[in-house]
A and B are shown apart, each in its own frame.
Chain A
Amino acid sequence: MLSDPLRKRVRHGLACLALVLAWPLQAAGPAGNVLRIGNGAEPQTLDPHKTETVDGSRIVRDLCEGLTNVSPTGQTVPGAAERWQISPDGLEYIFFLRPQARWSNGDPVVAEDFVAGLRRAADPKTGSSYAQMLEPLLNGPEVVTGKKPPEALGVEAVDDHTLLLRLRGPTPYLLGMLSHTTTFPIHRPSFARHGDQFARPGHMVCNGAYMLDQWVVQSHVRLKRNRYYWNNANTHIDTVVFYSTEDVNSELKAYRAGDLDWATGYPAVLTPWIRQNLKGELKMGPYLGISYFGYNVTRPPFKDNLKLRQALSLAIDRDVIVDKVLYTLSIPAYGWIPPGTEGVVPQTPPEAKWTQAQRLALARKLYAEAGYSQDNPAEVEIRYNTSENNKRMAVVVAAMWKQWLGVKSTLANEEWKVFLNTRKLKKKTEVFRSAWIGDYNDATTFLDIMHSTHGQNDTGWGNPRYDALLAMAAAETDAGRRRAMLEEAERILLSELPYIPLTFYVSKNLVKPWVKQWQDNILDYHYSRDMRIEGY
């Protein structure tokens, strides 16, 4: 028998416990006007000039705003600038900033903020991996490489609300590029106070629809509405939470449990299941990306061996790859520039329209002409960075080569950073896995990386005419002539084939039916401020 005061205490304790138990159960209910995103890997930084991952940039685009934005359907629309004028020669852009644009602390957004942002991004001391993107600006290459001071960059504040950009050559994709985080402005007083730590909770002052509320590394980044945003009246969602979801299996489970409204990733193997069970929630669309195998053309067997390069490419049945290896999450690729890219009509070689039997016939013919046969098979190494998907791809490709041509392939895998080094050195590689995602919607974002001097060109391939065409296109004001030059460049690349096109990417997202106005677009840009939550 318990004494009376003790009994009272026990009863008190139990009541408290019940309260504590009940409270989070309520808190776990409907989230209200909140968008919860499964965002993939941890963002690493929210500094607009340093972010380089797809996942990190998604957050930064909600926080900060450039001169232009991308509409839900993928068009370039006015952002912090309400309108602009372009000089007839295409070398000067004057932007008129919105007078009502404000930073999240109420300060007006002025032209000097953009000048400071662009100079910082171009300054090699900042260490922005996207600095090269600013090369179209006057003195861009010199500033980016430290040969001229950042002040020499072709950007100038005419007055508080007028910004002038001077270019080296007409750059038809400039307006689209200005929605990229690298071109975003910076709040000068908070940068002066906090230096490189300005993009942290409590420090960050931004000009987008949302402001940074909380960042728990490896867990989530939470944003809340920026009341000073010029279009706050038309922004619907109050809070956006970006969860870091490195494990796609867990991400899908959280989505199915109703803990996420939008999942940016899921295990590809489950695509058929998702199609059947989550009807209408899987959003797929064309995306600016290509997956390819590069040839190292500086070493045998691919050096000066076009026929072998062509034969191996033709012997791959891309429909099988798309269907069986990638669960239809891709489009077969025969060219270099993904469909939907602006600036060119992507070129397709004739074999794109052939049957696989026709391709194989030509592949066998070229293989024999290159001097190989059943008794004297080509020996090829496929090297990739360790991952289940890459392995599947390499195994399937090797099997196709073996079956149709008798090629003896060996597979080699390396951990990611080791692989990057090996690929760059070009000493060991023969066939290597690679992929590229466009930074902006223009053909040059793909063509540039095959330039003979580009740091991304790990094939060792170079063609003077190709390089010259890119240079000429950069200076060309006539859109038609520019298009013709870029298309010719792509045709050269396809005719010399220093790589095997495999597939073009598609964007894939899982979106709950209550998230309205979420639309596919080729950049896979989705601003939270354009969406709303209805009928949760």
Chain B
Amino acid sequence: MISDRVLAKLKAAAERPDLSATRYRLLGEIGRGGMGVVYLAEDAQLGREVAIKVLDEDSEARVLASLEHPGIVPVHEAGVLPDGRSYYAMKLVRGTRLDVFREIAASLPDRLRVFQRICEPVAFANARSVIHGDLKPANIMVGEFGEVLVMDWGAPGAGTPPFMAPEQVNGEQVDARADVFALGRILAILLEREEPMPKPLASICRKATQPDRALRYDGALAMAADVAAYLDCLPVAAHRETLWERSARLALRHRTLLALVAAYLAMRLIVIFWIRG
């Protein structure tokens, strides 16, 4: 009788790609996703480590290769294994997954800046009619210097429930606003530690995750622009602010000037009422 553990090991061994005909040497498994398995390999020709993704369908490599952006993992090479499965070699991404990063990121502005960088490659791809369809923290890597790489492109049908837009769940045609929905969920996760969550940011999340896509942001860039506005103490399009909120925002935006004017007035009052007394 074979135990489940042994069975799993045998299955993994059988799935291990045969890279003997390629320039890559298999080093180990990195992770598994809905569309394939990612392995760590060494490029024998260039003497560097790469990631090899083995897929049942070969659409992803072509999608990725068509997207040249600093926030999208570049593809080095694509091919077919002896067993008929497709593979592609890509840059080995070193960094922290977003779901881990959110635990260690120091400040709210740091997390928001990373979020803006996530929006950039998504907007870039959307502008080329490529929908990610499975945006989630596990598919986003944050590098040592805050650089962001969005992974797992080419699977718009896949999706992960909490991040899937209603139209995606219903199997309808999706557009850029499906990615906006996922970005809204991701932003909410990045803001989980904020108690209470700033109202403008809550409004951004709410607008991005509207069940009716017509009420969402048109695209990732519009959403990123609202986050940038919040960071710069400017009005956020998704949020209708009260007079008090507007005053507080303006005071925060011009805090240095207010401090200088207050210092001047305080000094003048001291001179007039105290020294001249």
A complexed with B: no
Interface residues of A (CB under 8 A from B): none
